[in-house]
A and B are shown apart, each in its own frame.
Chain A
Amino acid sequence: MKLRFLLRDIVHSRSQALVFVLCVALSLVCIVAINSFRRDVQTAIVGDARALHGGDVIVRSSYPFSAGLEQALTELLARPGVTGARSWEMFSVVRRADEQGSLLAGIKVVEPAYPLYGRIDLASGKGLAEVLRPGRVVVAPAVLDRLGLAIGDQLLVGHGRLVIADLITAESLRSVDFFNFGPRVLVAAADLATIRLVEQGSRVRYRAMLRLDDGKQIAATVAALEARAVADQELVATYATAGSRVKRLFDNLFFFLSLVAVFTMLLAGIGMQSSLAALLRGKERSIATLRAIGADSRFLLRHYLLLVLLLSSLGAVLGIAGGMALERLFVDLFGQFLPDNLVLGTSLTDIIEGLAVGLAVVAFFTLLPLAAIREVKPKAVFSGSTENRPRRRETWVLLACGTFLLGGLVVRQLADLQVGLSLMAGILGLIAVISLLVGGLLAALRRLRHLPLPLRQAVRSLLRPGNASRSIVATLAAAFSVLLAIYLLQANLRAGYIDSYPPDAPNLFTLDIQKDQRQDFHLLLGEEVPLYPVIRARLTAINGNKIDRRAERKGRGDSLTREFSLSYPAGGEEDEELIAGRSLFPAEPGGRVPVSVLDNVAKMGDMRLGDVLEFNIQGVPLVAEVSSIRTRTRSMLFPFFYFLFPEEHLAAAPQTFFAALRVPAEEVSALENRIVSRFPNISTIDVGRSAAELAAVVDRLALIVTFFASFAILAGGLILVSSILATRLERIREVVHYKILGADSRFVVRVFFLENLLLGLFSGICALLVGQFAAFALCTYLFEVVYQPAWAATIGLVVLMVLAVVALGLAGSVAIIRRRPARYLRELP
């Protein structure tokens, strides 16, 4: 009997029940898909960490290993059960043998034992050691495609002329490249001397990988190596602790996608609350009748709790299934970003986690509507409405517990307490601000005396009891502002970095010019260009406080632990101005070396004038005092340095030079060929081509985020539908009243049209303000591009949104408009 009653209750309110189920499903789809996908990606890139890092123990440095470390490695490799392999990685330009084409490639020179773990698949199906002999290279297919070469052709790498022996089809040790700057070229270690890229000062990543038969020896081995390694320069790690740029990239991407998913979940939660409130509102008479015939609160609560559980379970199953299906789409959506060895699948953990999330979200968002059941009094049988009573203390306590639970859930999803709490506070704040704004606008409109009758009625309708006008506007505006901000950000990044490339900005960067090559380089160019000295160094301490490498690496942005390029003025810094300090290097205070710091890095390390910075320049310590702080006045496409010193303090340090050239686009390729033919160690970067690569990445990332943000819009739409359902009775009553008083259907349609138009306009205006502000802030303060509000496109998008709201709102009211009034006159309370 109870079950039948329950099912009849659901069938009787099937529209509201459907919206509720869809909201539950929507709240879970993104979370389940992202969590499951994240786990799969992590399994692919971290789960098999040995394959990714190529050893049990990994030693890395940007400089040749120190004598002490070399000694330690030699001793270790002499032990039984320890095998090793070394690699040297660098970016350099490779050329066709006829010098008719060149390409920046990611070159990796490897010893025969490589790879100790993981795999490198070749097109021939042979093993790497068998193919990669002295005088040969194996390359990624892009090298052949872009240079028009074939297997068996010669390839110029540095000073070497090597034969292309095979193609790489998969490489587990290769980082996933968001930017396809340098397709892989593998070179045998025996050719290291031939290509002469290491000796001449190119940026090289030196790596030694060790394989230990006895896994218990890993910690001791690390300790032994660390004891001999140069601090802050030579890094020793295990496969489990070694950081990965890929992991970091995906961590960042998933973090932002999780933000969007949590946002969608919260919006869908509001939809849940709204649709359940609508459902229960339609049951008020039944509840009052049940009370009148003796049902107590516990019975009613149990009954409707069961109803919620039943619908939630259905929604959760749909959400989890939808999430699993959505995950399959990710392969196309993420495209080249994904690691080769990714295996998609949904584990039991994903499902359990999805159910737990669903339960928590449902529990929180259904609390208030369920608590309201207790407020329905038997006398509602007569009056048909429930008085608004202040909420009981237990309700507030439950609400507080629910908020705590939901907060925990959000924090767990984002794995970041501060961001999680900020996000929740931000969303609630945003919704509160928009609600207040809408409330104010409605109140102001209501006071206007001489509004035309349909508009006046539309305003009154927005204020009708049970109408979720504020929550509709708040959620639609919040969801749409996210989409708008993404669009504006994408458009501005394109405009700032890609489309409107400054006409005088350099378009060809040349790196690693040696001191003794400067004159010849100028001769080759036929003109003198500024050559910026580059001295690689690490910042080790600020005011005596060591840089906390672990804490720094946890951050999502730039890090103080990375290697910096120090320099001294070489001309061309005219696009910078001082924001602190009298001059670049005023009199040396306290006898310390002065250093001028760029504002970006000063902000990262909270550096001020007079602060003492300690650097490690390839093993040589340098203590300097901040003498000035600079800021940039032009695009980031012009050369700049975070740390500038007086020349005399860096003149003796090992250094290379960097030039930023402005060359007519059609001459870039020929000049690249001439430079690398004459100076094989010099790397060139065609910034125009890189900009196109960047555009593709920006577009792809925008597509991914937009895809997820679209679910938030869907949640807004569901809230609108649930509000229409919640106010169906009131709408019918209005239509009946209008009709019996002589209004024709045009009038009724006009009122409903204006009502929805106002909803859409309020949402659109709020979204426009919030979206523009967010995009402006991100462009100005994070990406540092000149902000263009793109008003025409923005207004176009807002108009589209308004039309969608009007269409949805009118569609939900058409059935009501068409009915004859007599049928409802008896039914209406």
Chain B
Amino acid sequence: MPILQAEQVSKEYQLDGRTISVLRTIDLDVARGEFVVIAGSSGSGKTTLLSILSGLDRPSSGRVRLVDEDITDLSEDQLAPLRNRLTGFVFQGFHLIPSLNALENVMFPAELNRDPLAREKAVELLDRVGLAQRQASFPEQLSGGEQQRVAICRALINDPAIIFADEPTGNLDSENSRLIIELLLDLQRDRQLTLLMATHSHSLSRRADRIVRIADGMIVGEERQAP
């Protein structure tokens, strides 16, 4: 049974009376523990697909199932606990809360979940990614690579079933990109995580279990790679 399932997902926008199709009848299954890369050029619809699959956006038509639950028509408040417990997000722009320090940013989802061990878990995660000494630093005091590592810790703190990552190395230099990729893949392997990543990085794509190629809002090909 796939952990994530998209059936005939389409997304359209209205612009000046015209209908713009961003996604067209996408069908996609992602298995538990799988690392899937959604690859495509800029404007191909990668991020929109990721948003819809993760429940951050609603499709114009089609259905999305996440861990056996149809999330297509769920309200924001019904989605909130699913996002909190089942999913983690890593973005190109990091999206850390600027008024919280690194530790607080990592703790935040666990605190929302009323986890009494939030602090301990956050400390452990930061230690694991080499930021034990930067716990009290605010996002603006961290480098891009450090911010992304904090974001990864934040995505992992509630032991999610699936991580959605949108161009996680897009804002990083090559050295930091390499470090972040290694970190993500290590964690994915260690924790048996499902990882769905939108990227146009070839080096990153090569490490995935499967590459789903997308162009003009349609899946134009899939490559399953040997482990």
Contacts and interface: CB of A to CB of B under 8 A. Distances in A.
Contact of B83 (A465, A741, A823, A825): A741
B95 A822 contact: no
Given A453-B111, A460-B99, A464-B99, A740 B83 contact: yes
B35 interface: no
B57 interface: yes
Interface stretch (B73-81, B122-130, B213-221): B73-81
B80 A742 contact: yes
Given A739-B76, A820-B57, A825-B56, A747 B112 contact: yes
A165 to B, nearest CB: 82
A636 interface: no
Contacts of B111: 453
Contacts of A739: 56, 76, 80, 83
B112 A741 contact: yes
A740 B99 contact: no
B56 A745 contact: no
Interface in B51-107: 51-52, 56-58, 76-77, 80-85, 89, 91, 93, 95-100
A461 interface: yes
Contacts, number: 78
- Return the 8 tightest CB-CB contacts between A and B, nearest first: A742-B84, A822-B57, A744-B80, A460-B99, A822-B51, A822-B56, A742-B83, A744-B77
Contacts of B100: 460
A747 B89 CA distance: 19
Given A736-B95, A822-B56, 20 more contacts: A460-B100, A464-B98, A465-B98, A733-B95, A737-B95, A741-B84, A741-B108, A741-B112, A742-B83, A742-B84, A742-B109, A743-B112, A744-B77, A744-B80, A745-B80, A746-B77, A747-B80, A820-B56, A821-B56, A828-B95
B8 interface: no
B41 interface: no
A439 interface: no
Contact of A742 (B52, B98, B113): B113
Interface of B: 47-48, 51-52, 56-58, 76-77, 80-85, 89, 91, 93, 95-100, 108-109, 111-113, 154, 158, 166
Contacts of B95: 733, 736-737, 740, 825, 828
B76 A820 contact: yes
Nearest to A734: B97
Contacts of A734: 97
A148 interface: no
Contacts of B96: 737
A463 interface: yes
B143 to A, nearest CB: 13
A200 B92 CA distance: 99
A654 interface: no
B112 A453 contact: yes
A827 to B, nearest CB: 10
B76 A744 contact: yes
A554 interface: no
Interface in A721-778: 730, 733-734, 736-737, 739-747
Size category, A interface: 20 to 34
A31 B64 CA distance: 62
A828 B94 CA distance: 11
Interface string A343-372: 000000000000000000000000000000
A820 B77 contact: no
Contacts of B154: 741
A820 B51 CA distance: 10
A828 B93 contact: yes
A745 B76 contact: yes
A752 B108 CA distance: 17
Contacts of B89: 740-741
Nearest to A741: B109
Given A460-B100, A734-B97, A825-B51, A740 B56 contact: yes
A157 B90 CA distance: 96
A719 B98 CA distance: 24
Contacts of A746: 77
Contacts of B85: 742
Interface string A461-502: 101110000000000000000000000000000000000000
Contacts of B158: 742
A825 B167 CA distance: 13
Contacts of A736: 95
Contacts of A464: 98-99
17 contacts: A453-B108, A453-B112, A460-B100, A463-B99, A733-B98, A734-B97, A737-B95, A737-B96, A739-B80, A739-B83, A742-B158, A746-B77, A820-B57, A821-B56, A822-B52, A822-B57, A825-B47
Given A740-B89, A741-B109, A825-B51, A461 B77 contact: no
Nearest to B48: A822
A464 B140 CA distance: 13
Nearest to B77: A744
B99 A743 contact: no
A746 to B, nearest CB: 7
Contacts of B58: 820
B43 to A, nearest CB: 11
Interface string A815-826: 000001111011
B81 A742 contact: yes
Given A740-B83, A742-B84, A744-B81, A826 B76 contact: no
B93 A829 contact: yes
A821 B89 CA distance: 12
Contacts of A741: 83-84, 89, 108-109, 112, 154
A734 B111 CA distance: 16
Max chain B Cβ within 10 angstroms of own Cβ: one of A464, A730, A742, A747: A742
Contacts of B93: 828-829
Contacts of B108: 453, 741
B113 to A, nearest CB: 7
Nearest to A746: B77
Contacts of B83: 739-742
B105 to A, nearest CB: 9
A744 B84 CA distance: 9
Interface in A773-829: 820-823, 825-826, 828-829
A438 to B, nearest CB: 17
Interface centre among A739, A740, A743, A745 (most CB of B within 10 A): A740
Contacts of A745: 76-77, 80
Nearest to B155: A741
A495 to B, nearest CB: 47
Contacts of B99: 460-461, 463-464
Contacts of A733: 95, 98
A743 B56 contact: no
